[in-house]
Structure 1
Amino acid sequence: MDFRQLRYFVAIVEEGSISAASRKVHIAQPALTRQIHALEAALGGSLFERGAKGIALTVTGKALYEEAKQLLETRERIMARITALGQGITGKVAVGVTVSHLWVPEIKQVLSGFRDSYPQVALEVYPLLSGPQSEKLKDGSIDAGFLYMGDEIPDYLRTRLFHKDNLVLAVPENSPLVDSPPDKVHQLNRYNFVWGPRSSSPVYYDKLLAYLHQQDFYPKVVQIGADNVTILSLVAAGLGISIVPGDCKWISPPGVSFIDMPELARCDMSVSFAWNTHNHSPALQNFINTVLDGCHTQQPSSC
C-alpha cells in the first residue's frame, strides 16, 4: 500500500465510479483497476462490492476511506511544511542591530521588506552593540547582524558594506557651540566629554580614538554612557558633549544639537552587514538576499 494507491481509492469513492476516477487522476481505467486490486491484495480483503447498480464500499472499504483521507491530508500538510522550510518561506531569522541604527531608514526598509515578502518567517530583531553582536554571531545565537566591522574578518563570517556614515559633534541645544562651532577638532580639548566604554564596541572605539588622536584631540571624559542612546541622554542633560555617528540623529532625545565638522566628516564610520557562513538556513539566505538587494555597494566591507 502506498499513498498513490490511497489517492486512487479515495478518488473512486468520491467520484462514484472507476471511469470517472480515472479521468480525475489522469490514469487509464485498466491501470487504475490494477492498482485497486493490488491495494486489496495488500490489505487482504475487498474494498468494493460490485453489482448491477455500480460499486459500493464494503465494511473494510468504509473504514479505509476515513483513514485514507486523514493520511492524505496529513501527508499534504507535511509536504507543504517541509517545502516551505526548504524554500525559506517559514522558519526563523535572528538579527542583531546596533542600538544607534534601529531607526535608520535603510535598515527599517530591509526589515519591513523582508516581513512583507516572508510573512511566515519569525524575524527576531535584537538591539545589540557591535561587541556583543560579534560574540553572538560566532556562537550562533544570532544569524546575522548590522554592526561595525574591523579590517580582519573572521573565517566564519561574510560581510558587506551596508550603510555609509561618519562622525558628528553632539552638544546640548543651549550650548554656545551651536552658534560658534570650532573649526578644528583639537579645539574641543578643553571641553568635558561623555564617552562610551571600549567593551561595548571595540572596533568602533579603537577606530574613533585612533582618528581623533591623529587630529591632536584627546577627550577629557567626565561621564560614561553604556551606549549612544545613554550618551545622548547625558548630553541632553548638560553633563558634557560627545562625538557620535551621524546616524544617532535617528535615536536622539530632545535637547541635543548635532554639529557637522569637516574633520569629523572625513572619518568613515560605516555599518556592515555580516552573517555566519556555517548557517545554511534557507530563511537566512532569503534575508541575506533581501539585504544585499538594498545595499549601496556589493563590495566587501573594510570598516
Structure 2
Amino acid sequence: MEFRQLEYFIAVVETGSISAASRKVHVAQPALTRQMRLLEEDVGTQLLDRHARGIRLTVAGRTLYSEAIRLIDDRSDIKARLLAMGRGQTGKLSLGVTVTHLWVPEVAKLMGGYRGRYPQVALDVFTLLSGPQLEKLNQGGLDAGIIYHDDHAPSGIKAHLLQRDHLILAVPANSYWAQSPPTRLLELAETEFVWGYRGISPVYYDRMVAHFSRLNFEPRVVQYGADNITILSMVAAGLGVSIVPAASRSHPMSGICFVELEDLTTCDMPLWLAWRAGNVSPVLDNFIQMAVEIFE
C-alpha cells in the first residue's frame, strides 16, 4: 500500500467514480482502475462495489477511507515539521550571555529579533560569565555563547568576532573621583578597588592584568565580587572603584559614574559569539547569521 494509491482511492471515493477521479488526479482511467485493483489485492479484501452509476464503498472501504484521510494528513504534518526543522524554524537554542551584555543594545536586538523571526524556536538564555560559558559549550550544555576571549578560539570552539570593547573606570557618583576624574591609572595607586575573581573568567582577567602590568599599575584590591553587576553594585554602595568593560554602561544602574581613561581604552577586549565545533544545527546557523547581520 502506497501513499499514491491512497490519494487515488480518496479521489475515487470523493468524486464517486473512477472516470471522475481520473480527471481529478490526471491519471488515465485504465491505469487508475489498475491501481485500485492492486490496492485491493494488497489489503486482501474488496474496497469498492462497482456499478453502472459509479462506485459504492464496502465496509472495509469505509474504514480505509477514514484511515487514509488521517494518514495523508499525518504525512503532510510530518513533512511540514521536518521542513521547518531543516530550515531552523522550529527547535530549541540555548544561549549564554554575561550579565553585563544582557543590556547591550545589539545583544537585546539580537535576542528580540531572533525571537521575532523564529517564534517557534524556544530560546533559553543563561546568564554566565565567559569561563563557565566555555565549559558548557565544550560539554554541549550551550549551543552558543557571547563571551570575552582573546584572538584565538580554544580547541573545539568556533567563534565570530562581534565587536571590540575596551575597559572603563567605574566610581561612586558621590566620590572625589566623580568630581575630579583622573587622567592616568597611576593616579589611582592608593585608591581602594573592587575586583573580580580570576577563576570565573580567566582569559578576561589575564588580559586585563597583562595590560596593567605594561603600565606598571597594580590595583589595591580590598573587595571582591562574583560578577560585574555585583561589582558595580558594590561601587555604587561606596565600597571602592573598579575597572569593568565599557559595555557595563548599558546597564541601568544609579549611583555610578563612568570615566574614560586613555590607559583603559587602549586595552582591547574582543567580544565573540562562540559555539562548539561540530554542532550542526539549522537553528544555530540562523542565530549566527542574524548575529553577523546585527553586529556588522
State the TM-score bracket (shorter-chain normalisation): over 0.9
1:4 equivalent in structure 2: 4
Secondary structure of the structure 2 residue equivalent to 1:164? strand
For the residue of structure 2 that corresponds to 1:244, the secondary structure is strand
- Name the residue aligned to 1:96: 96
1:84-139 CA deviation, whole Å, 9 max, x = no partner? 22221111111111111011111111111211221111111111100100101111
Aligned equivalents of 1:270, 1:252: Cα separation in 2: 23
Displacement of 1:154 after TM fit?
2.4
- 1:183 corresponds in structure 2 to 183
Match of 2:161 in 1: 161
| Comparing 230-239 and 3-12, the one that deviates more | 3-12
Q: How does 1:12-161 map to 2 (within 5 A)?
A: 12-161=12-161
- Tell me, yes or no, if structure 1 residue 201 matches structure 2 residue 194: no
Q: Does 1:275 align with 2:278?
A: no
Supply the AA of the counterpart residue of 1:135.
Answer: E
Task: After TM superposition, give the deviation of residue 28 of structure 1 in Å.
Answer: 2.4
TM-score, normalised via structure 1 length: 0.94
Distance of 2:20 and 2:155 partners within structure 1 = 61
CA RMSD of aligned residues (A): 1.4
State which drifts further: 11-20 or 239-248. 11-20
Q: Shift of residue 221 of structure 1?
A: 0.6
Partner of 1:295: 295
Q: What letter is aligned with 2:177?
A: L
Q: TM-score scaled to structure 2, two decimals?
A: 0.96
1:202: Cα distance to partner?
0.6
Q: 1:269-294 CA deviation, whole Å, 9 max, x = no partner?
A: 12111111211111111111111222
- Whether the aligned pair in 2 keeps the contact of 1:173 and 1:236 (CA below 8 Å) is yes
Q: Which aligned segments of 4 or more residues in structure 1 are displaced greater than 6 angstroms?
A: none
Q: Could you tell me the percent identity over the aligned residues? A: 52
Distance 1:28 1:200 in 2: 72
Contiguous gaps of at least 5 residues in structure 1: 297-303
In the alignment, which residue of structure 2 is the partner of 1:251? 251
Indicate yes or no: 2:221 matched with 1:216.
no
- Note the C-alpha offset of 1:252: 4.6
Question: Which whole-Å CA distance do the structure 2 matches of 1:231 and 1:134 have between them?
Answer: 22
Is the Cα–Cα contact under 8 Å of residues 232 and 252 in structure 1 kept in the other structure?
no
8 Å Cα contact 2:164/2:268 also seen in 1 = yes
Contact 2:47 2:60 in 1 (8 A): yes
Q: Distance in 2 between matches of 1:28 and 1:125?
A: 57
Report the CA distance between 1:52 and its aligned residue.
2.5
